[in-house]
Amino acid sequence: MGCLDDGLVLGLGFSATTTLEKRGNNNNEKPKMMNKPCFEPSLSLGLSGETFYGCNKKTTDIKKVCEESGGADLFRQASPHSAVSSFSSGRVKRERDLSSEEIEAERVSSRVSDEDEDATNTRKKLRLTKEQSALLEESFKQHSTLNPKQKQALARQLNLRPRQVEVWFQNRRARTKLKQTEVDCEFLKKCCETLTDENRRLQKELQELKALKLAQPFYMHMPAATLTMCPSCERIGGVGDGASKNNPFSIASKPHFYNPFTNPSAAC
DNA sequence: GATGTCAACCTGTGGT
DNA sequence: ACCACAGGTTGACATC
């Protein structure tokens, strides 16, 4: 943007980024989301990526085969052990994440799921209740990440598995970041518009100045020593004039430049 | 039916 | 190696 052929350059010289402080040694150190954009110099502006979310889907047959039906509908009743949907695609891998308590909960839930399993073999969608969402939100406001103890406590309180609480927090952080990115994007768009306007205005101003310069007579471009005086002023001549020969300071003592705009020769 | 939302998942990465 | 997290994806469900 904004590179004028006359050497005037305009550009975005800052950036807006959302910074997420890294957590400390343990999980009690929470990353703090900086809700204000952090402006740094020299970041290029890219607005082409308008789609942020949920536009690309691909089908993985293997995953489909792996999926099993879950008892997720039961989850709405917020029963501690029915409130689990087990989707087997990642269960083996995930077991390393689980404490013995969680594994037990998982097993119980699996039993429920197995009992519930029907021929459709489709994954059921879990929706958190309003109360669960509210409590999670409240907890998220206090800290956007959880240590294992907090996770356990919250899970117990909500009748959810710790894994579900963990996933909720992960998704919640992602949404927060996405929202902030959208805000930053809007802000940068406005900055871009402002700078484009400014660029246009300066270009126009430059053109006017150029036109003004061209409109001046050619001797305005000459060095001062070779300037000729207004033709109607006979006392002071140009170079080689008789008067100036005797008085080298005559020109400097009373310069009388001709300016067709402000000083027409008739006024002399 | 198209589209948006969101819980659940997978993968890669960095810290310990 | 393990863990937590970010980022991306999937699929069920809601809404229009």
* Residue whose Cα is closest to the C1' of C1: A96
Q: Global pTM?
A: 0.53
- pLDDT value for A194: 94
* Residue whose Cα is closest to the C1' of B4: A54
- pLDDT value for A181: 85
Give the CA A70 to C1' C13 distance in Å: 15
- pLDDT value for A224: 53
- pLDDT value for A218: 61
A258 with A238: CB under 8 angstroms?
A: no
Q: What are phi and psi of A82, to 5 degrees?
A: -90, -15
Give the CA A22 to C1' C3 distance in Å: 15
Give the CA A54 to C1' C14 distance in Å: 16
- pLDDT value for A219: 57
Strand partners, A242: none
Give the CA A96 to C1' C1 distance in Å: 12
pLDDT means per 10 residues, chain A with 268 residues, are 34 38 34 36 37 33 35 34 37 39 43 38 76 90 87 89 90 88 86 94 95 75 52 42 39 37 38
Residue A259: count other Cβ atoms within 10 Å of its Cβ.
12
- pLDDT value for A200: 95
Q: Which among A92, A74, A94 has a CA at the least distance from the CA of A84?
A: A74
Chain B: nucleotides below 7 Å from protein CB are 4-11, 15-16
- pLDDT value for A9: 35
Sign of CA dihedral A202, A204, A210, A213: negative
Q: For the residues of chain A, what is the DSSP string, one character each?
A: --B-TTS-B-----EEE--BPPP-SSTTS---B--SPEEETTPPP-------SS------HHHHHH-----GGGGGGT-TTTS----GGGHHHHGGG--HHHHHHHHHHHHHHHHH--TT--PPPP---HHHHHHHHHHHHH-SS--HHHHHHHHHHHT--HHHHHHHHHHHHHHHHHHHHHHHHHHHHHHHHHHHHHHHHHHHHHHHHHHHHHHS-GGGGS-GGGPPPPTT--SS-STT-HHHHH-TTHHHHS----BTTTB-GGG-
- pLDDT value for A78: 35
Task: Please name the residue that has the structure tokens 């703090």.
Answer: A32
Chain C: nucleotides below 7 Å from protein CB are 2-14
Domains of chain A with CATH codes: 130-215 (1.10.10.60)
Give the CA A197 to C1' B16 distance in Å: 51
